[in-house]
Chains A and B, each alone.
Chain A
Amino acid sequence: SAVISQKPSRDICQRGTSLTIQCQVDSQVTMMFWYRQQPGQSLTLIATANQGSEATYESGFVIDKFPISRPNLTFSTLTVSNMSPEDSSIYLCSASGRGGPVGEQYFGPGTRLTVT
């Protein structure tokens, strides 16, 4: 299984500012994903980070609000832009070494974001 790290682990930000979250995998992976988990809720997929091309966003999430980069097969960033208190959540990066029906996803430790 892949070992995934995220930075920062937590942050408190003022509304209107932006925060970039970094995700590093210890090996090359095919797929990387960004999720949001609000308090007491399950995981919601924000987008799939595609290496060398624009991310694929899920319904309700847009690039202007959550720009994503994936410059190589081990690294991705998610930016939460123009933050509001509603963006307070845990943001999770995940990775899968292979696509298709048999690819398992592993998660990073998460970034706990509080917007004041």
Chain B
Amino acid sequence: QKEVEQNSGPLSVPEGAIASLNCTYSDRGSQSFFWYRQYSGKSPELIMFIYSNGDKEDGRFTAQLNKASQYVSLLIRDSQPSDSATYLCAVKINDYKLSFGAGTTVTVRA
């Protein structure tokens, strides 16, 4: 079983809609969870991190964490064409290393 699994894409959403990205992880002891956005040809950019169960909102982005279900998600509200990118879920293991999911590619249709 992979440490971090993301829903396979690509995910295509119309402009203005909500994009929902899901991620599950295998290590029940994991405490920190991160979402990175990676545009084609660019390096990953940290957009959200969450440590506690529940929701965390930052602008149009909402991260949701459910440690009992070992599940973390990212919602992008009012999706814009500029949100078209690959989104990487990462889970911190051993207090310093990150394990990355395979990524979900999102395309926002104008």
Contact = CB atoms under 8 A, between A and B. Distances in A.
Contacts of B44: 43, 92, 107
A59 interface: no
A96 B94 CA distance: 14
B43 A42 contact: no
A107 B92 CA distance: 15
Contact of B101 (A42, A104, A108): A42
Contacts of B96: 31, 48, 96, 99-100, 103
B34 A45 contact: no
B60 interface: no
The number of chain A residues touching the other chain, given as a range, is 20 to 34
Contacts of B43: 90, 92, 107-110
A48 B94 CA distance: 12
A108 to B, nearest CB: 6
Given A101-B32, A107-B43, A107-B45, A42 B103 contact: yes
B103 A104 contact: no
A40 to B, nearest CB: 9
Given A102-B32, A102-B51, A104-B46, A43 B92 contact: no
Interface in B1-55: 31-32, 34, 36, 42-46, 49, 51
B102 A42 contact: yes
A103 B32 CA distance: 9
Which one of A1, A107, A109 has the highest number of Cβ atoms from chain B below 10 Å of its Cβ? Answer: A107
Contacts of A48: 96-97
B95 A100 contact: yes
A109 B101 CA distance: 20
A99 B44 CA distance: 19
A108 B102 CA distance: 19
Contact of A109 (B42, B88, B95, B103): B42
Given A96-B96, A101-B92, 5 more contacts: A48-B96, A99-B96, A101-B31, A102-B51, A107-B45
Q: What 4 pairs across the A-B complex have the smallest Cβ distances?
A: A101-B31, A107-B43, A101-B32, A110-B43
5 contacts: A41-B102, A42-B102, A102-B51, A103-B96, A107-B46
